[in-house]
Amino acid sequence: MGKKIGKVYVVGHKNPDTDSICSAIAYANLKKQITGDEYVARRAGQINEETHYVLKKFKVSPPNLLPNVKMQVKDMDIHKVEGVEPNVSIKDTWAKMKEQNVKTLPILKEGELVGVISTGDIATSYMDVYDNCILSSARTQYKNIVQTLDGTLITGNEHGYFTKGKVTIAASNTDLMEEFIEKDDLVILGNRHESQECAVDIDASCLVVCQGAKVSDELIRRAEEQSIVIISTPHDTFTAARLINQSIPVKHFMTKAPLVTFRMTDYVDEIKEAMTKKKFRDFPILDRHGHFKGFISRRRFMNVSKKKVILVDHNEKSQAVDGIEEADIMEIIDHHRLGNIETMGPVFFRNQPVGCTATIVYQMYEENGVKITPTIAGLLCSAIISDTLLFRSPTCTQVDEKVAKKLAKIAGINMEQMAGEMFKAGSSLQGKSAEEICFQDFKQFTVNDIVFGVGQINSMNKDELKEIRGVLEPHMPKVLKSHNLQMVYFMLTDILDESTELICCGNNAKAYIIDAFDLREDAEKIVLKGVVSRKKQLIPTLVGALQQ
């Protein structure tokens, strides 16, 4: 076994037909059986009534929608980092950064991101702080001071906060001390008893006694009465003074909200701009509940894993799922003319001139010796019935017919009956808007610089086709405009009569058809006898006329 390839989406074209959906389901199943890897069928648009009917009949749930295959944040390499709480000291935060070898750390309050701190912010706390009141203005907890100075608490409440006053060092005699030390200050001092006593007289809020010097029981008792905190540290006064600012809570120096964050579902090409504007090294990523998931660095931003796809039943870029140029196309299985999809590397491309992709998928089951279940057989057989109009279409080959018969046997279905029910479901107007009827089987094509669309509905009922025409004709100009097309055609195909009435709309649309099919110039209705296939009859003839 080679290495796991991750999830691969098997997907048909936009406005999918029965072949597109059924072949995707069957092919994803085949690939999974052969490789053991994760292949999932997806759809690139709304499922039409005919396909709904088929899926329901064989009790298969419709594939989920794949709105696009653009790269998202969740496809990137997200760096998981353990954060710290807002009250943690700068010293502990720095230790955490070194331990994880990171330059940015999230500050989290119960999983919620409240800020980020970078090595630069910590450098700032050292280099730019000349303010001896910062310890109190940052509301530093005594517990932090004890930990930072590797000290022990002799008396007082370690959960209290140092909230007013300045940090001072009692290095001079008591007369001078009384001049610059005030009530509520924090005093760093040595082993001189008279200095310790003086600090208690002034009513300092905290005494830091260095080099583990002794404090008399009498003084401890007085300190307790006045709620003064006494901390003993093994460090000398210089070291204690240098370290003490590291006890400041990290929240004081962190970058606070609003932060530049991204969500797991954000699209990479949309956040690129935000990233280039801001010069941060790391950007926090949140999940849909707003909880912190990790960082993306500007550097990691460049290696995103592309979404992997297999295209079935199409190879034209305009018919493919959005963002196809950002995806990694693994394979293409199709039976249409060669379109304009470009791939980055070589791909497995199988294109056969048969009536239906499902026929090719059947062949691949056979070639790989994988057994076809009645369910899969039912889906594939329905796809062939749909694409070949029960073998009436000129696209239909003997291979299609032979395969369909084998599949019908495995699935235990009567093809004539199935066809009747499928086409009836597909051409039913019940509860459908003109827009829905128009786009249930619609494809876009580009020839030279002309972009045009062709829709089709097949029916066994003349009156129904007449009714559909009444609904569609006035709607066509809107389609032209909303989809930026130069021309729109709609094929009303009468399966029994094997002919198509064509509605034309747009610049020269009718003239091109009259020219292509050698019709009378003054033809009111355009009826094309014997034309039932968009792929094999209408498109090639029209493309020929457009290229002249």
The pair phi, psi for residue 504, each rounded to 5°, is -115, 145
The answer, yes or no, to whether residue 402 has pLDDT greater than 90, is yes
Longest Cα–Cα distance of the chain, Å, equals: 120
Q: What is the mean pLDDT of residues 502-531?
A: 92
Cα 138 from Cα 164, distance rounded (Å) = 10
Which CATH number applies to 434-547? 3.10.310.20
Nearest to 263 by CA among 430, 95, 76: 76
Q: How far is CA 425 from CA 15, 272, 389, 420, in A?
A: 16, 46, 14, 9
C-beta atoms surrounding 514 within 10 Å: 18
Nearest to 104 by CA among 95, 123, 117: 117
Nearest to 228 by CA among 177, 143, 160: 160
DSSP string, 55-96: HHHTT-PPPEE--B---BGGGS--B----B-TTSBHHHHHHH
Cα 192 from Cα 71, distance rounded (Å) = 68
Q: How confident is the model at residue 302 (pLDDT cuts 50, 70, 90)?
A: low
Q: How confident is the model at residue 387 (pLDDT cuts 50, 70, 90)?
A: very high
**What is the chain's mean pLDDT, rounded?**
92
Nearest to 228 by CA among 237, 236, 216, 219: 219
Six-digit token string for 80 = 């998981």
Strand stretches in 112-159, DSSP E? 112-118, 140-141, 152-155
Six-digit token string for 66 = 């794949």
The H or E element spanning position 377 is helix 374-388
The answer, yes or no, to whether residue 161 has pLDDT greater than 60, is yes
Q: What share of the chain is helix, strand, coil (3-state, %, to 5)?
A: 40, 20, 35
**90-252 homologous superfamily:** HprK N-terminal domain-like (3.40.1390.20)
The answer, yes or no, to whether residue 1 has pLDDT greater than 50, is no
Beta bridge partners of 140: 162
Cα 11 from Cα 14, distance rounded (Å) = 9
**What pLDDT shows up at residue 303?**
65
Cα 314 from Cα 329, distance rounded (Å) = 13
Residue with tokens 């569609």: 472
Question: What is the dihedral angle through the alpha carbons of 363, 369, 375, 378, rounded to the nearest 10 degrees?
Answer: 20
C-beta atoms surrounding 369 within 10 Å: 8
Cα 466 from Cα 18, distance rounded (Å) = 24
Q: What is the mean pLDDT of residues 124-138?
A: 82
C-alpha angle 282-83-136 in degrees, rounded to nearest 5: 105
Report which listed range, 254-258, 358-362, 440-444, 537-541, is most confident.
358-362
Instruction: Say if 8-71+307-426 and 90-252 have the same CATH topology.
Output: no
- Domain-by-domain residue ranges, the chain? 8-71+307-426, 90-252, 434-547
| Contacts of 384-387 spanning 24+ positions with Cβ under 8 A | 384/19, 384/355, 384/356, 384/358, 384/359, 385/415, 385/418, 385/419, 385/422, 386/17, 386/18, 386/19, 386/50, 386/54, 386/356, 386/422, 386/426, 387/17, 387/18, 387/19, 387/355, 387/356, 387/357, 387/358
**What pLDDT shows up at residue 50?**
94
Strand-pair category, 112-118 with 104-109 = antiparallel
Residue pLDDT, tens place only, 44-76: 999 999 999 999 999 999 999 999 999 888 888
Would you say domain 8-71+307-426 falls under CATH 3.90.1640.10? yes
**What pLDDT shows up at residue 172?**
79
**What pLDDT shows up at residue 539?**
94
Residue pLDDT, tens place only, 421-440: 999 998 888 888 999 899 98
Cα 289 from Cα 191, distance rounded (Å) = 55
Strand stretches in 366-498, DSSP E? 442-447, 450-459, 487-494
Using DSSP, how many helices (H) and how many strands (E) does the chain show? 20, 24
Identify the three-state secondary structure at position 17. coil
Residue with tokens 């550097």: 299
**What pLDDT shows up at residue 129?**
65
**What pLDDT shows up at residue 300?**
72
Between 60-64, 339-343, 486-490, the lowest mean confidence (pLDDT) is in 339-343
Strand-pair category, 39-43 with 8-11 = parallel
Nearest to 207 by CA among 189, 184, 234: 189
The DSSP symbol for 24 reads: H
Sign of the torsion angle spanned by Cα atoms 317, 323, 327, 330: negative
**What pLDDT shows up at residue 2?**
53
**What pLDDT shows up at residue 382?**
98
Query: In this structure, are residues 209 and 165 in contact, taking their beta carbons and an 8 Å threshold?
Result: no
Between 86-100, 153-167, 292-306, 355-369, the lowest mean confidence (pLDDT) is in 292-306
Beta bridge partners of 292: 286
Cα 184 from Cα 353, distance rounded (Å) = 90
